[in-house]
Amino acid sequence: MPTPTEAESARGAALSGLRSEGARYERVSDEGRQRVKAPRAAERSEAMDTDIDLGHHGDAEVGGGLVDFAVNVRGGTPPAWLAERLRRSVDDLAAYPRPGPARAAVARRHGRPDDEVLLTAGAAEAFVLLARALAPRRAVVVHPQFTEPEAALRAAGHPVERAVLGGGFTLDPAAVPADADLVMIGNPTNPTSVLHPAAGVLGLVRPGRLVVVDEAFMDCVPGESESLASHGGPGLAIVRSLTKTWGLAGLRAGYVLAEAALVAELARAQPLWAVSAPALVAIEACCSPEAVTEAGTWAAGLGAERERFATALGARGLHVVPGARASFLCVRGPGELRALLRERGHAVRRGDTFPGLGPEWLRIAVRDARTNDTLLEVLDDLDF
């Protein structure tokens, strides 16, 4: 495991208040591997006490032959070339995973040193590692957003405050308490599809605070214009996922980009060999310049169909959150709409399990034009 150098530790000084040494960790071996002290049961159940089912995700809403507009994984994935590489990776399964080449590929893709990259079993593992490795005094999650960052913090025993954005769900820095020392935000955001300007997100960074940006859907944005993945320095951690664009939800592949000292700390909280050899093959392949170009081409096509679909939904009386930039739309309509669509064979993602939204909200994945048209036809037949 990498150990932070003095220089790295100094750079990480701004985060020292968040560090967990002593508070939640104890050293258990000469290698510096640390063990999480689980929060007491009472602490944990109090932290998990929330009005909303944070563990609900779109995958619970599909199946039974329903047309899937609930899960945001790109259709027709993984692409054949990637599936073939994964098949070939089976030949090497007898060996323990060696993350070096994949880590270097991620570092190259984002123009960062290798030691600022931690490969993870999906973005979901990254949230758990952050929650276990950090000891925030005041953790704030900007909502509505993907619920796992909050769930992971709560499961680790941390109280969580919600900064709920209003109106068009654009970023309002004033919604974040000035003394928050951990801020978690999604960009572009699930479920609103809103893309915050990079400058606005960077504006949340300040001494003594870590801002964690979930960029799981950033590759939906051509050129990734508002990404902070290449932005080094303290106070910022970027979480990325290969799940959505490459269709690898079942593989578990993602990574964290952060200053080296924080990466080392997260690595100490991570189980050994957490990222499988096939996942490493996928990470390395998807970070190649050819794959990045392929994703950019797909993102451009997605944008055109998203706009057409959003306009068509609006013409049918639904409110679509403006400025969508991810692979889904956030829609408000009659409270019974989701059930009516299910009766007619279409699954859309409920919105009421996202803090800040309610039963009249839905998240609808943008599929190919022909599939999207089937949903529009069902809407035409409904009387609301």
Ligand X SMILES: Cc1ncc(COP(=O)(O)O)c(C=O)c1O
Binding site for ligand X (CB under 6 A): 57, 122-124, 146, 186, 190, 214, 216-217, 241, 243, 249, 254
What's the Cα-to-Cα distance from 295 to each of 80, 111, 299, 308, rounded to whole Å? 14, 18, 6, 20
Closest approach of ligand X to the CB of residue 97, in Å: 17
Closest approach of ligand X to the CB of residue 27, in Å: 29
Minimum CB distance to ligand X smaller for 124 or for 156: 124
Minimum CB distance to ligand X smaller for 190 or for 372: 190
**Do residues 144 and 192 lie in contact, with contact meaning Cβ atoms separated by under 8 Å?**
yes
Residue nearest to ligand X (CB): 122
Q: For the chain, what percentages of helix, strand and coil (3-state, to nearest 5) are there?
A: 40, 15, 40
Two tokens, residue 262: 């924080």
Sequential DSSP letters for 308-326: HHHHHHHHTT-EE-SSB-S
Cβ-proximal residues to 146 (8 Å cutoff; 6+ apart), any chain: 186, 190, 191, 214, 216
Closest approach of ligand X to the CB of residue 283, in Å: 11
Closest approach of ligand X to the CB of residue 184, in Å: 11
Closest approach of ligand X to the CB of residue 312, in Å: 24
Minimum CB distance to ligand X smaller for 243 or for 372: 243
Minimum CB distance to ligand X smaller for 261 or for 357: 357
Two tokens, residue 182: 């951990």
* SS3 at position 356: coil
Minimum CB distance to ligand X smaller for 122 or for 355: 122
CB atoms within 10 A of CB 233: 13
Minimum CB distance to ligand X smaller for 59 or for 336: 59
Q: Which helix (H) or strand (E) holds 117?
A: strand 117-120
Closest approach of ligand X to the CB of residue 298, in Å: 17
Among all chains, which residue has been given the structure tokens 């039974």?
64
Closest approach of ligand X to the CB of residue 84, in Å: 22
Sequential DSSP letters for 140-183: EEEESS-SHHHHHHHHTT--EEEEE--TT----GGGS-TT-SEE
Amino acid found at 280: L
Minimum CB distance to ligand X smaller for 145 or for 372: 145
* SS3 at position 133: helix
